[in-house]
């Protein structure tokens, strides 16, 4: 008589870890959507699918949340085929059909434009991104999408902040929700609270058919890669540092910065009223409000 072997301890642990990962991803995506009012009843959400781990994860998570949400919203997956040499244009349609999700493949030869305009060896990401954005806005209008969902995660937001800080001299990041310059489109980033390492683990768990972006090669010397390595190193050696920096983006004190357009320094004068923040700026050490050591991902009050 044959018997079925009981799961080994490593198998049980992996299953438990996988379940925790899925629950964490759904919880944090749902929390970000709620915190920033990203999706409303009746929305048609256009999920931009590149073939990378982040956009696959975004689509998968939104499809699961849609089943559980107290509101009704539709999803349409959109991929922009930029005619990169060797791009396997059959992979995404086959995958999306297997999910039974509405999708649209937009074919535009931006590859030729980028390689013609940008000298060999130079960074192509900026121009490629601008061309892609314009096309996706047009497609969103044609499909009647009310929201455009992108797969940017916590580390993307942090990296953008540090790139602007270190190399652009600006305090600017990547908002979880924004309206396009022409005022016609709302862009949302439901993965804003999720670190990249969780999306890597999720892609491995779900076995997504990843399509690498070979347009610009690996470009290991790009400044963004440098920043990403810095963040990854922090996560290994100082687990709360990246999260503290991330949550600082939502706890801004304009009066303690130097932007004259953001705070009326010219009109600043004593008015006889109590100012609880004022005295803290007198001594540089007094102005440092050290955060407690919080577990990774926990938000400060």
Domain coordinates in residue numbering, the chain: 9-219
Q: What band does 276 get if pLDDT is binned at 50, 70 and 90?
A: low
What span, in angstroms and rounded, lies between the C-alpha atoms of 8 and 255? 58
Per-residue pLDDT at 292 exceeds 70: no
What span, in angstroms and rounded, lies between the C-alpha atoms of 236 and 233? 5
pLDDT at 289: 54
Per-residue pLDDT at 5 exceeds 80: no
Per-residue pLDDT at 164 exceeds 70: yes
Query: Average pLDDT for residues 280-295, to the nearest whole number?
Result: 53
Per-residue pLDDT at 297 exceeds 80: no
Higher pLDDT, 282 or 204: 204
Beta pairing class for 186-188 and 177-179: antiparallel
Terminus-to-terminus CA distance in the chain, angstroms?
60
Least confident among 96-110, 159-173, 221-235, 273-287:
273-287
Q: What is the DSSP letter of 233?
A: H
What span, in angstroms and rounded, lies between the C-alpha atoms of 73 and 40? 7
- Are 174 and 156 in contact, with CB atoms under 8 Å apart? yes
pLDDT at 14: 84
pLDDT at 218: 43
Distances (CA, A) of 275 to 272, 282, 283: 9, 13, 16
Instruction: Give the pLDDT confidence of 51-80 residue by residue, as tens digits.
Output: 999 999 999 999 999 999 999 999 999 999
Query: Average pLDDT for residues 258-284, to the nearest whole number?
Result: 75
pLDDT at 89: 87
Per-residue pLDDT at 246 exceeds 90: yes
Least confident among 40-49, 147-156, 250-259, 292-301:
292-301
Instruction: Give the pLDDT confidence of 8-67 residue by residue, as tens digits.
Output: 677 888 888 899 999 999 999 999 999 999 999 999 999 999 999 999 999 999 999 999
Please give the mean pLDDT across all residues of the chain.
87
pTM: 0.85
pLDDT at 79: 95
pLDDT at 94: 96
Which ranges of 174-296 does DSSP label H, i.e. alpha helix?
A: 196-206, 223-237, 241-248
The domain made up of 9-219 is a member of CATH 3.40.50.620: yes
Query: Average pLDDT for residues 259-269, to the nearest whole number?
Result: 90
């Amino acid at each position: 008589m044959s018997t079925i072997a009981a799961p080994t301890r490593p198998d049980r642990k992996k299953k438990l870890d996988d379940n925790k990962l899925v629950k964490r991803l759904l919880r944090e995506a749902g929390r970000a959507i709620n915190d920033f009012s990203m999706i409303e009843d009746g929305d048609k959400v256009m999920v931009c699918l590149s073939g990378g781990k982040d956009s696959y994860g975004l689509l998968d998570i939104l499809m699961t949340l849609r089943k559980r949400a107290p509101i009704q919203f539709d999803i349409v997956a959109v991929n922009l085929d930029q005619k990169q040499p060797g791009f396997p244009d059959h992979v995404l349609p086959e995958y999306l059909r297997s999910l039974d999700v509405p999708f649209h493949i937009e074919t535009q030869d931006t590859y030729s434009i980028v390689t013609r305009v940008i000298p060999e060896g130079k960074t192509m990401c900026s121009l490629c991104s601008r061309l892609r954005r314009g096309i996706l806005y047009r497609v969103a209008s044609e499909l009647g999408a009310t929201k455009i969902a992108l797969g940017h995660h916590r580390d993307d937001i942090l990296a953008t902040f540090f790139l602007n800080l270190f190399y652009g001299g600006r305090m600017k990041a990547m908002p979880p929700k924004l309206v396009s310059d022409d005022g016609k489109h709302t862009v949302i980033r439901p993965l804003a609270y999720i670190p990249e390492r969780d999306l890597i683990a999720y892609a491995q768990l779900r076995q997504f058919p990843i399509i690498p972006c070979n347009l610009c090669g690996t470009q290991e010397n790009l400044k963004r890669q440098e920043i990403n390595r810095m963040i990854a190193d922090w996560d290994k050696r100082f687990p709360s540092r990246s999260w503290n920096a991330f949550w600082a983006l939502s706890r801004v004190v304009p009066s303690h910065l130097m932007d004259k357009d953001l705070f009326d320094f010219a009109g600043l004068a004593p008015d006889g009223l109590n100012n609880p923040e004022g005295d803290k700026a007198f001594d540089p050490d007094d102005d440092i409000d050290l955060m407690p050591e919080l577990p990774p991902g926990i938000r400060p009050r």
